[in-house]
Amino acid sequence: MTSLSKEARELIDFDLKHIWHPAAQMKDYETFEPVPVVRGDGCYLYTADGRKILDIVSSWWCNLLGHCNTEISDAISKQAHTLEHVIFANITHPYAIELTKELLSVVPKGLVRFNYADNGSSAVEMALKMAFQYQMQIGNTNRTKFACLSEGYHGETIGALSVGSMDLYSLMYKPMMMENIHIEAPDMFRHKEDYPEKCLENAKKVFKEHGHELCALIVEPLLQGAGGMRIYPKEYLKALYDLCQEYGVLFIADEIATGFGRTGKWFACDHAGITPDIMCLSKAITGGYMPMSVVCTTERVYQAFYDDYSKNKAFVHSHTYAGNPLACAAAVTVIRILKRDKIIDKANETALWLTDELTKKFSDIENVGEIRHIGLIHAIELVKDKSTLNPFPSSERLGYRIYQDALKEGLLLRCIGDILYFNPPLNISREDLSKAIDITYKVIKRNLEQIETK
Ligand SMILES: Cc1ncc(COP(=O)(O)O)c(C=O)c1O
C-alpha cells in the first residue's frame, strides 16, 4: 500500500469515503482496495500508479472490441459535435435510423420493430411489460405469469429479479417480487445424465400444467452467464421455443450477454435457427462505450398495440436516454467493424485455439472439474473432488481469492463462486490470451496449494 503513488492514494481514499460500488460487500474494499484505473487501450487498463492490467472479462462483458478503439472513439466524438442527445418522443434522427438499419441486417429474420432503452435490466423490464400487455390486448387476460429457467439471471430491477432464479440477488426482495414459474434448466456439468429426457419432460410438464396462464417464457439462450457460465444444448432452446409456439406463449430471448458474436454467431438464437417474439440486447451493442439497450420484436406483437389513441393500447413506456445519438453512433460503428473485419469468424478460430491451450495447460490440476466454452467465452470450474464434483466450501472464497491474486499479477479475471472465466474482447490476440492463461494457471495453483497446506 505504501508503494502507491500520491495520485492513486488520493483516488482510493476519496473513493472509500464516499463511493458505494456495485455488487460488493464494501467492508471487503478495506482489505482489498479498489484499483484506480485511469486509461484503457485494447485489452489493457492502466492504473494511476503505473500498473498495466489485462482485462480478460471485457469490463463486465461489454467491451467487445477493446478499450479506446479509435474508430468507435472518433465516431462518438464526431457525434458529440453534431447532436449529443434529443428527446426520442415524437422526434427521430438519422443516427437511430442508421442503427436500426444495421440491426435489421443482423438480427434473426422477422424482428422488425425496435424500442430503445439504456441498460440491460431496463430492456428486460420493457420486454416483460410488452409481453404482458400484448397478451392482455389480444384478449388473453388469464395469461399473467412468466416462466423462466432455474439459475437464470436477467438483471437486478424488481421485474428482472422476478424472472431470475438466483437467491444471491433476490432472496431479500422476494416479498416485493412477482410469482413466476421456474423450469429446471439442464445442468450439463453436474447432471448431464438428465439431458435430454428428464429436462425435456420437466419443461413439457410445466407447459402442460401452466401453459394456459403463461404470458411469456424468458431465457438466456444457450449461456446462463451469471448463473455460472452454464451452457445448455441448442436443441433444448429449440424445444422450449416449440413449446411456446404450441401453447401460445411468447418467447423472450435475453441476448444481453450473448448478443453480437459472443457465442460464435451474431446471436445465440441463431444456433437454434429460431426467431424469438421479443429479443433484448445491450452490453456489447456499443462495444461497452455508451449505455444502450434495445428490445426487438415482430410485426405481430407491434400490431397488438397499434390502434386509435382512444383505445388506450399504446405502450406507455419510456426511458430518458432512449435512442441516444452518442450510443447510436457507437453501436453503428461496432456492427460495421464486426461485419467488415469478419470479427466473429476470427473469434471462432481463436476460441478453438484457446480451448486447446486451456485443456493442455490445466490438465494436470486435479481440481479443475471442467473447462467449457461457447464462442470465445471460456469457463474453468474448480471442484474440491473431481470424482464427486463436490465444490469447495463457500467459506473458503476460493474464486474470490484467485480473482484478487490475479489482479495483483496484472489480470482482471472475474469469478462466479469457484468458476473463473474469460470473456475477452473478440479481437484479443493469442499473445494476450497466452499471458492470461499463464497468470490464471499460476494463481489457481498457488491458491489451491494454500488450501492444502492449511
Ligand atoms: C443475461 C443478462 N440479462 C440482463 C442483464 C442486466 O443488464 P444490466 O446490468 O445492464 O442491467 C445482464 C447483466 O449481466 C445479463 O447478463
Q: Where are the alpha helices (DSSP H) in 313-397?
A: 325-340, 343-362
Residue by residue, DSSP assigns 125-168 as: HHHHHHHHHHHHHTT-TT--EEEEETT----SSHHHHHT---HH
CATH 3.40.640.10, the chain: domain bounds: 71-340
Three-state DSSP state, 232? coil
For ligand 1, the distance from its centroid to the CA atom of residue 256, given in whole angstroms, is 6
> Phi/psi at 38 (nearest 5 deg)?
-115, -15
Q: In 3D, which of 160, 360, 115, 372 has the Cα closest to residue 263? A: 372
454 pLDDT tier (thresholds 50, 70, 90):
confident
Q: Where are the alpha helices (DSSP H) in 254-342?
A: 268-272, 299-303, 325-340
pLDDT tens profile 35-68: 999 999 999 999 999 999 999 999 999 999 999 9
pTM higher than the cut 0.75: yes
Q: How far apart are CA 328 and CA 303, in angstroms?
A: 25
pLDDT tens profile 190-238: 999 999 999 999 999 999 999 999 999 999 999 999 999 999 999 999 9
Pocket of ligand 1 (CB under 6 A): 119-121, 124, 153-155, 220, 225-226, 254, 256-257, 282
Q: How far apart are CA 36 and CA 48, in angstroms?
A: 6
Amino acid type, 381: E
Residue 365: per-residue pLDDT: 97
% of the chain surpassing 70 pLDDT: 100
Nearest atom of ligand 1 to the alpha carbon of 155: 6
DSSP state of 177: S
CATH 3.90.1150.10, the chain: domain bounds: 35-68+342-452
pLDDT tens profile 109-129: 999 999 999 999 999 999 999
Residues 6 or more apart whose Cβ sits within 8 Å of residue 433: 350, 354, 357, 422, 424
Residues 6 or more apart whose Cβ sits within 8 Å of residue 338: 64, 260, 261, 344, 426
Within 10 A of 354 (CB to CB), how many other CB atoms are there?
Answer: 23
Question: Which H helix or E strand runs over 58?
Answer: helix 58-61
Q: How far apart are CA 259 and CA 268, in angstroms?
A: 7
Looking at domain 35-68+342-452, which of 3.90.1150.10, 3.40.50.2000, 3.40.50.620, 3.40.50.800 is its CATH number? 3.90.1150.10
Nearest atom of ligand 1 to the alpha carbon of 121: 11
Q: Which class in CATH covers the domain with range 71-340?
A: alpha beta
1 pLDDT tier (thresholds 50, 70, 90):
very low
Three-state DSSP state, 83? coil
Q: Which of 282, 286, 290, 294 to mutate to test the pocket of ligand 1 (most atoms within 8 A of CB)?
A: 282
Q: Work out the end-to-end distance of the chain between its first and last CA atoms, rounded to an integer number of angstroms.
A: 26
